Chain A
């Protein structure tokens, strides 16, 4: 959760008076708030944490970090299904666990 992942801004729009963007994290696209980096532009990279862009990053650094995080399996932790992960850790069949709801 403390992980902040670099991503590339795909497009920007105002929503509820807030500057929001779609950001690409090595193939996974998430909605990101740009209020803390208001001058970030389409095509630029930033370090994003829990849906907020926190600091600009150059493209090469961003690419290298994404590769490392993918290798460490951290992107799965950040963007994968948390219920499946929790069920696996608990030794519960996720399908059975969900169907009990």
Chain B
């Protein structure tokens, strides 16, 4: 219980934990879908505070981690071309493609720029009419609406030199894929709060019913996560499987209708490969035909690029909750944030990175020494 004093309201945390301890009678495995939740869980030792019977399994909720290698390679190819200004969020800089990353592309002379918002990339396009400006549009349902609006704006304002390399992913098909796997151990989900802020909760009742799993919409703060676990465990103990919103201060049942409407206009659902997992049907968005002029994949003819993951990297199993990061042979030795094999180690929201940051001392002594960065 070494971390409980660090909670914003230790007394409330204690009460939630007591309730969970009092409720649990059998082992349960819950998956938190969001990388921000994973980070918070490991940082605050929430998994260690819970009863032994309650296991938290880390899901595929880091957008940087699940972006497929071939999309990274397409980004690297486009970013290397003369005349291109390639704009990206900062956390994509060191995601390894085949042999290199965006950070290295810039070192080799590529014009790679980091933006805070996709609208910043659009402004760069307005300011550089003689250059091709490409924005790397990745992320879940939280990030897709801003990117959709940006493409919409580009079309509305007639900005011809702006395009987007789109690799958006959707959470519900990932839940479906995880639950459909024969090796799945997940019995309940903590759904990602900010995804639901946009999408609402309407996609979940069918999944909860079909797979007989409780789905509790959960926030990121330690108390939010404890409350999410408490509600999920209560349902499981009672044999219930409903959708429950434990993050109502930020999630309305209908989500954000304006954002959802823009998503439907700009994107269309497509099959999408997830890094380390493979193709999940209907799990992604691509630009709809109306916006094809702004599709970088189309404009730069990179659709032929196909690549393979490094064999040593087991991030796919980590992303599906089949393996804990520290159970991977390469963890902390061959694979560190400085020399990442896969995106789960390089992304700050990745499960491997969270374990590396906060769990280093749990490693066997030799591994811990090797894992300690030389500063």
A residues neighboring B (CB under 8 Å): 1-4, 16-18, 30-33, 35-38, 47, 49-52, 54-55, 57-58, 61, 64-65, 67-68, 72, 74, 77, 79, 82-83, 85-87, 89-91, 97, 100-101
Contact = CB atoms under 8 A, between A and B. Distances in A.
B194 A54 contact: yes
Given A1-B63, A54-B142, A58-B249, 18 more contacts: A2-B34, A2-B142, A2-B349, A31-B119, A36-B149, A37-B258, A38-B258, A50-B89, A50-B117, A51-B117, A52-B145, A54-B259, A55-B251, A74-B36, A74-B348, A89-B337, A90-B338, A91-B338
Contacts of A31: 117, 119
B123 to A, nearest CB: 9
Given A54-B145, A55-B256, A1 B91 contact: yes
Contacts of A16: 153, 157
Contacts of B292: none
Contacts of A35: 149, 258
B43 interface: yes
B62 interface: yes
Interface in B335-364: 337-338, 346, 348-349
B153 A50 contact: no
A71 to B, nearest CB: 8
A85 B90 contact: yes
Contacts of B348: 74, 77
A36 B337 CA distance: 36
B63 A2 contact: yes
Contacts of B139: 1-2
B114 interface: yes
Interface string B12-53: 000000000000000000000011100110010000000000
B220 interface: yes
